[in-house]
Amino acid sequence: MEKYQVRDLSLAPSGHRKIQWVRDNMPLLRGLEDEFIKTKPFEGIKISLSVHLEAKTAYLCLVLAAGGADMSVTGSNVLSTQDDVAAALADSGLKVYAYHGATQKEYDRHIEMCLSHKPNIIIDDGADLVTFLHDKRPDLMEEVWGGCEETTTGVIRLKAMEREGILKFPMVAVNDADCKHLFDNRYGTGQSTWDSIMRNTNLIVAAKKVVVVGYGWCSRGIAMRAAALGAQVIVTEIDPVKAIEAKMDGFSVMPMAKAAHFGDIFVTATGCCKTITTQHMMSMKDGVILANAGHFNCEIDMAALETFAEDKKERRNNVMGYKLPNGRWINVIGEGRLVNIDGHPAEIMDMSFAVQAMSAAYIRDNYKNLENKVIDVSSEIDDVIARRKLEAWGIQIDSLTEEQQAYLNSWQI
Ligand code: NAI
């Protein structure tokens, strides 16, 4: 089979430059790379990886390859794939199958090609590799020991597979590690979502009413950063506890049917479908902006909007205006797909991908004793990564004295 399918190999120098920049800003991965070069933990091991194919992911691939892994790589979202980065990986000798803007058919073909080297370990983002193996090519699953899942939506899909008793190998819920979701989902999504909305619209956030749909890890970060930019934030939720949290954090809370009347900018990040429907859109003001930061493009009901709208026109690059039957226009960024496709800051992904690399090693060491379930990242991995991150920042913390330890372990005052 072809060793790579990328748009244009001559783009590699630009990809290498991007990878070098993130490498300079990812000290945890650099540390792992140094270790892996010496210990070769993945020698002879085949890894298939599907994660947003931009520079940080490429560096993770190179770190795993430095540890001896035979890497086969694709992207988890055709719009986040960067062709120069894909070219740089191919130029570095890795198997790479990904195009920016691939059709669904091409995307499926790339997933199949990525899996065709019969991996031992899967690294997935949204569970597309795992579901493809189970649904379409179980014959490529024979040598799989297990894998790691990067995001909330992927973990939700894998847990559904586990409940139905069809998951055929253990999957580590990387997303659920403290060193992942506490920082990546909250601060990463919080920053990169607003970075993307501001670049795409070139409008001010201050003084706007921003409706944040959900108050989970991502949406909390999005709400926090909107407030910091000077917006008035309204949160919609279905979980009463999260709704109280949003209220106590100082935000207005109301159902979407009401919030739809007030918002200037709407941002979804729930992992749920149809959180903004055409009915909600009919209540919105003329000229509002809609963006989605959840994994799939069903959070804003784009399928319904496409048939419901009376007219549509491109307003800016990546911003589509839709004319509703009431004559008002609404503007959707990036087809309602994940808005922050340029990804999180490198320092954030440093932690997430350190969890990925160490969890892949965990699978290698433990797969024989693991059940075919979604499993938690071990607390030792979280602890090591947190300590290394602090060390990289030059921050020291206290540790318990023997007396304090004894006190905390005793029931006597
Ligand atoms: P989470 O589970 O922490 O939060 C989701 C929240 O949405 C929950 O509080 C839930 O009650 C709420 N919710 C669910 N349905 C709702 C509805 N119909 N209306 C209002 N609220 C609703 O999940 P997390 O980690 O925040 O992830 C959310 C989505 O973002 C997932 O699809 C995940 O894969 C994706 N994600 C995106 C990232 C990005 O860079 N854009 C980064 C990490 C995750």
The alpha-carbon radius of gyration of the chain (Å, integer) is 22
**Residues 179/132/100/213 CA torsion (nearest 10 deg):** -50
Contact present, 272 and 216 (Cβ < 8 Å): no
Nearest residue CA, atom 31 of ligand 1? 271
Q: 313: which strand partners?
A: 321
Residues 179-193 have pLDDT tens digits of 999 999 999 999 999
End-to-end CA distance of the chain: 69
Q: From CA 335, how far away is CA 323, in angstroms rounded?
A: 15
Nearest ligand 1 atom to alpha carbon 274? 18
At residue 413, the pLDDT reads: 72
pLDDT confidence bin for 1, thresholds 50/70/90: confident
pLDDT tens for residues 43-63?
999 999 999 999 999 999 999
Q: Are 225 and 249 in contact (CB under 8 A)?
A: no
Task: From 39, 66, 28, select the one nearest 384 (Cα to Cα).
Answer: 28
Ligand 1 pocket, Cβ-based, cut-off 6 angstroms:
151-153, 181, 185, 189, 213-219, 236-239, 242, 269-272, 275, 293-295, 338, 340
Which tens digit of pLDDT belongs to each residue from 82-91? Answer: 999 999 999 9
Q: What is the mean pLDDT of residues 283-294?
A: 98
CA of 366 to the centre of ligand 1 (A): 30
C-alpha 280 to ligand 1 mean position (Å): 19
What span, in angstroms and rounded, lies between the C-alpha atoms of 19 and 62? Answer: 10
